[in-house]
C-alpha cells in the first residue's frame, strides 16, 4: 500500500475493518517516517479538457488527485504541485502540452488519453529525459522507449483477452461481426483478437468493418457500417469504441434492430459512457484490467474513497492514474532527498510488485503492466447500471 498519514490510515482501518493497514502505510520502504518532508516538486499531467475524450481526462485527473489527497499532497515525502496541461485532440496539441510542462520544470509527466498523442510526443519525452507515466491504454507500436512507462495496458492485449474467451465460448457454425474505428487503437485491438481467436476461423464473419474514428460522431455516423455488419446475420458483434463515440455506436446499433450479444474492451462501458447508454448497455460483456467491485484491500480503500469524494464508482482510467501516482511515489522515495528526473526514471525500473486496486501487478520489460484481465457484464444494480465482475480471463503483459 502507498504511504499515507497515520490519522488517515486509522480512519480507513476503522471504516474497513482492515488489520495491519497502519503498519503497511505508516513507513517509507526505505525506513523513513511518513511525515518526512523533501523539497517541493512539480508533476505535469496531460489530459484533454474539451471534446469527446474530456470525460476520460477528468477521470485521470481525479485518480491522480485522490492519491495526493490520501498522502497529504506529497509523493515520496515531497510536497507536490500538480500542473495540468490540455492534451487537445491530436499529436500537435499534445506536444504543445508537453513543451509547456517541461518549460515549467516538472520532475515527471503523467496522463495522456489519445494513442495518437502518445505516439506523437514520444521523441520529445525521450529527448527531454523526463519520465512519463502514461495512464491510459497505449499502442503496441510504442516500443524501444526508455522514459515512457504505462500503468494501463497495451491495446492489443484487450483483443487478446477477448479472443481467448470467445474462441471457446462461440458455438461451431456461429458468426461474429467485427466493427472497429479506423485508427491505430482499432488496428491493435483487432490484431490482438485475431491472434488469439484464429484469423482463419470460419466463425469470424469476413473481414473487419472499419468505420469512423471521430471522437464526436454524428447521429448517423455508423449507420451504413452497422448495416453492412447486420447483412452478415451475425450471432454476436465485437467492437471497440470509447467515450461519446461508444455511446453513439451502441445507440445506432440498437436503433438498427440488433439485440444480440456485444463484446468489447471495457472502455466501451466505462464511466459516464455507461450512464449515457442507459438500457442499451444491458448485458454487454467487456474485458478489462479492472472492475470497481474487485475484492482486495487496495480496491476497498480506493473505491471507498473515490465514491466518498466524487459520488460515483471509479473507472479503469481513474485507477490507472491512481497507480501512476503510486509508482511515482515509490520511485521518488527510492531516488533520494534531491531527486532528478533521470534518477526517478532509474528508480522506476527497480520497483517490484505494485499493490493495486486491480490486484498485484508489476512492470514488464517493455515498461507496461503484467496483470490480470477480467470479464465484466453490464447489469442493473437497483436503479444503477454497473459493470459486474463475472470471471478472471487471463494474465497478460
Note the pLDDT tens digit of each residue in 228-265.
999 999 999 999 999 899 999 999 999 999 999 999 99
pLDDT, mean of residues 362-367: 95
Q: What pLDDT score was predicted for residue 247?
A: 96
| Residue 38: pLDDT band with limits 50, 70, 90 | confident
| Residue 215: pLDDT band with limits 50, 70, 90 | confident
**More confident position, 97 or 137:** 97
Q: Are 110 and 47 in contact (CB under 8 A)?
A: no
- Residue 396, pLDDT > 80, answer yes
Q: What pLDDT score was predicted for residue 205?
A: 65
Rounded to the nearest 5°, which phi and psi values hold at 373? -115, 145
- Residue 270, pLDDT > 60, answer yes
| Residues paired with 176 in a beta bridge | 204, 236
**Which of 9-18, 50-59, 270-279 is predicted least confidently?**
9-18
Q: Are 181 and 246 in contact (CB under 8 A)?
A: no
- What is the C-alpha separation between 75 and 333, in angstroms, rounded? 8
Length of the chain, please? 397
Question: Which grid coordinates belong to 325?
Answer: 501516482
**More confident position, 355 or 89:** 355
Note the pLDDT tens digit of each residue in 287-335.
999 999 999 999 999 999 999 999 999 999 999 999 999 999 999 999 9
- What is the C-alpha separation between 306 and 395, in angstroms, rounded? 26
| Residue 15: pLDDT band with limits 50, 70, 90 | very low
Q: What pLDDT score was predicted for residue 14?
A: 39
- What is the C-alpha separation between 131 and 117, in angstroms, rounded? 16
- What is the C-alpha separation between 178 and 224, in angstroms, rounded? 14
Q: What pLDDT score was predicted for residue 1?
A: 47
Rounded to the nearest 5°, which phi and psi values hold at 53? -105, 5
Q: What pLDDT score was predicted for residue 381?
A: 81
- Residue 34, pLDDT > 50, answer no
- Residue 18, pLDDT > 90, answer no
Note the pLDDT tens digit of each residue in 51-69.
988 999 999 999 999 999 9
- Residue 128, pLDDT > 60, answer yes
- What is the C-alpha separation between 385 and 397, in angstroms, rounded? 30
Average pLDDT, the chain: 90
Q: What percent of the chain has pLDDT over 90?
A: 81
| Residues paired with 179 in a beta bridge | 209, 239
Q: What pLDDT score was predicted for residue 303?
A: 96
- What is the C-alpha separation between 299 and 363, in angstroms, rounded? 19
| Residues paired with 152 in a beta bridge | none
Amino acid at each position: 500500500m502507498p504511504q499515507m498519514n497515520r490519522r488517515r490510515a486509522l480512519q480507513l482501518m476503522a471504516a474497513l475493518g482492515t488489520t495491519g493497514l497502519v503498519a503497511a502505510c505508516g513507513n517509507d520502504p526505505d525506513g523513513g517516517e511518513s511525515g518526512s518532508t523533501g523539497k517541493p516538486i512539480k508533476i505535469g499531467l496531460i489530459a484533454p479538457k474539451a471534446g469527446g475524450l474530456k470525460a476520460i481526462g477528468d477521470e485521470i485527473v481525479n485518480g491522480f488527485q485522490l492519491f495526493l489527497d490520501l498522502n497529504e499532497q506529497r509523493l515520496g515525502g515531497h510536497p507536490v504541485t500538480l500542473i495540468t496541461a490540455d492534451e487537445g485532440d491530436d499529436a500537435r496539441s499534445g506536444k504543445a502540452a508537453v513543451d509547456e510542462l517541461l518549460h515549467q520544470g516538472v520532475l515527471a509527466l503523467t496522463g495522456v488519453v489519445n494513442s495518437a498523442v502518445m505516439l506523437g510526443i514520444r521523441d520529445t519525452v525521450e529527448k527531454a529525459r523526463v519520465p512519463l507515466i502514461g495512464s491510459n491504454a497505449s499502442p503496441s507500436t510504442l516500443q524501444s522507449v526508455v522514459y515512457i512507462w504505462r500503468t494501463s495496458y497495451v491495446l492489443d492485449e484487450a483483443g487478446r483477452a477477448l479472443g481467448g474467451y470467445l474462441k471457446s465460448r462461440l458455438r461451431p457454425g456461429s458468426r461474429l461481426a467485427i466493427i472497429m474505428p479506423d485508427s491505430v487503437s482499432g488496428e491493435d485491438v483487432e490484431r490482438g483478437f485475431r491472434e488469439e481467436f484464429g484469423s482463419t476461423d470460419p466463425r469470424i464473419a469476413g473481414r473487419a468493418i472499419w468505420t469512423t474514428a471521430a471522437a464526436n460522431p454524428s447521429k448517423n455516423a455508423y449507420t451504413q457500417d452497422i448495416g453492412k455488419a447486420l447483412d452478415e446475420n451475425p450471432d454476436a458483434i465485437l467492437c471497440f469504441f470509447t467515450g461519446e463515440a461508444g455511446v453513439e455506436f451502441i445507440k445506432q446499433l440498437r436503433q438498427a434492430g440488433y439485440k444480440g450479444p456485444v463484446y468489447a474492451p471495457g472502455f466501451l462501458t466505462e464511466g459516464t459512457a455507461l450512464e449515457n447508454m442507459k438500457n442499451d448497455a444491458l448485458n454487454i460483456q467487456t474485458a478489462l484490467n479492472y472492475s470497481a467491485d474487485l475484492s482486495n484491500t487496495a480496491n476497498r480503500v480506493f473505491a471507498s474513497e473515490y465514491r466518498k469524494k466524487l459520488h460515483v464508482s471509479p473507472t479503469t482510467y481513474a485507477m490507472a492514474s491512481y497507480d501512476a501516482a503510486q509508482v511515482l511515489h515509490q520511485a521518488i522515495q527510492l531516488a533520494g532527498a534531491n531527486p532528478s528526473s533521470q534518477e526517478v526514471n532509474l528508480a522506476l525500473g527497480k520497483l517490484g510488485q505494485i499493490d493495486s486496486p486491480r490486484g498485484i501487478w508489476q512492470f514488464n520489460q517493455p515498461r507496461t503492466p503484467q496483470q490480470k484481465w477480467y470479464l465484466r457484464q453490464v447489469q442493473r444494480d437497483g436503479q444503477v447500471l454497473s459493470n459486474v465482475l463475472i470471471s478472471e480471463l487471463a494474465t497478460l503483459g
